[in-house]
């Protein structure tokens, strides 16, 4: 989780800069959990840049890894728009969005609340696929895996004669 010292931060943060705070091992772990690939043989700054590009280019990989409640949290960020903090009660277990460094978190220990800010680039990337994902979850009651989504997309392309 990337914590910030105050709520003066704006959402125009660069994801690569946020990820650069992490160690290479932590970034590789994010790649593994999201089923994305970034070469481990690059310098840390280059790895942060490449991982940021992979995350932003593959929003379904992120959305498929989230629970229903976290998809609703992403929807709250999308609805709130730029520079808006979403406040939730502190939890013992971090959200995956926090583990993947996709949101910045201010911890208000007096009120036991998290004030979370999602960078614009992440919000804009996720908002394109979010409505379809929420619709699937509403109809089926579960979040499909990234592999299932890719298979469905492949089958649709076959049906449409694109392949």
pLDDT in tens, 58-75: 999 999 999 999 999 999
Q: Are 53 and 31 in contact (CB under 8 A)?
A: no
DSSP 88: E
Please name which of 86, 67, 68 lies closest in space to residue 76, comparing C-alpha atoms: 86
126-129 contacts at long range (C-beta below 8 A, 24 or more positions apart): 126/59, 126/62, 126/63, 126/74, 126/78, 127/78, 128/59, 129/59, 129/60, 129/63
- The predicted model scores a pTM of 0.85
What are 58's two structure tokens? 């593959």
pLDDT at 162: 75
Helix and strand counts by DSSP (H, E) for the chain: 9, 4
What are 107's two structure tokens? 């911890």
- 111-122 per-position pLDDT tens digit: 999 999 999 999
φ, ψ (nearest 5 deg) of residue 52: -60, -45
Q: Which residues of 36-59 are buried (b: 16+ CB within 10 A; e: fewer)?
A: bebeeeeeeeebbbbbbebbbebb
- 12-45 per-position pLDDT tens digit: 999 999 999 999 999 999 999 998 889 999 999 9
- 72-108 per-position pLDDT tens digit: 999 999 999 999 999 999 999 999 999 999 999 999 9
Band of pLDDT at residue 154, cut at 50, 70 and 90: confident
Band of pLDDT at residue 163, cut at 50, 70 and 90: low
Band of pLDDT at residue 144, cut at 50, 70 and 90: confident
């Amino acid at each position: 989780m990337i914590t910030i010292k105050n709520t003066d931060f704006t959402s125009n943060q660069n994801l690569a800069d946020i990820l650069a705070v992490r160690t290479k091992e932590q970034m590789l772990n994010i790649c593994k959990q999201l089923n994305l690939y970034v070469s481990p043989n690059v310098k840390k700054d280059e790895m942060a840049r490449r991982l940021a590009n992979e995350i932003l280019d593959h929003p379904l990989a992120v959305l498929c890894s989230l629970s229903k409640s976290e998809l609703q949290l992403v929807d709250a960020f999308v609805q709130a728009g730029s520079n808006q903090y979403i406040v939730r009660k502190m939890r013992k277990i971090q959200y995956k969005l926090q583990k993947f460094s996709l949101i910045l978190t201010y911890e208000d220990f007096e009120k036991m609340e998290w004030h979370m800010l999602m960078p614009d680039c992440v919000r804009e990337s996720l908002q394109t696929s979010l409505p379809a994902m929420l619709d699937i979850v509403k109809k089926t009651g579960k979040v499909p895996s990234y592999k299932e989504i890719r298979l469905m997309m492949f089958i649709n392309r076959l049906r449409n004669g694109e392949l």
